[in-house]
Structure 1
Amino acid sequence: MGYMRSLFGTFCADEDDVEARCLIAFSLRIGNHFIAADDGPRSRADVAARIRAQLLSN
């Protein structure tokens, strides 16, 4: 988590935002295969790409 904080911290000034992004990224990476959600008309890859774009935007 410390490493991710340092990465997100390079473009996020808000420490609370950095912490939230770290937890979301970690949770998705570790738990994605456990999530049995219906992604609607989108593929899981499309949804994951959108999540990455949101996490990496300022």
Structure 2
Amino acid sequence: MQYMRSLFGSFCPDEDEDEADARCLIAFSLRIGNHFIAADHSARSRAEVIALTRKLLLG
């Protein structure tokens, strides 16, 4: 997590460590738990939702 925190910290505001920590947890959770999540994404495919999530996480 420390490594990811440094990566997210490179583009999250310095004063907002909370945002970097939250992004780290979401990214880690998605990577580890993606195959356990069964969800209907309506008109979007699973790949489209994952791509959108990555875009939002990475800024």
Q: One fold, TM greater than 0.5? A: yes
Superposed CA RMSD in Å reads 0.5
Normalising by structure 1, we get a TM-score of 0.95
Q: Aligned letter for 1:41?
A: A
Total equivalences in the alignment? 57
Structure 2 alignment gaps of length 5 or more: none
Normalising by structure 2, we get a TM-score of 0.93
Give 1:10's aligned residue. 10
Q: Aligned letter for 1:8?
A: F
Q: Aligned letter for 2:4?
A: M
Structure 1 alignment gaps of length 5 or more: none
- State the 4+ residue runs in structure 1 displaced beyond 6 angstroms: none
Q: Percent identity?
A: 72
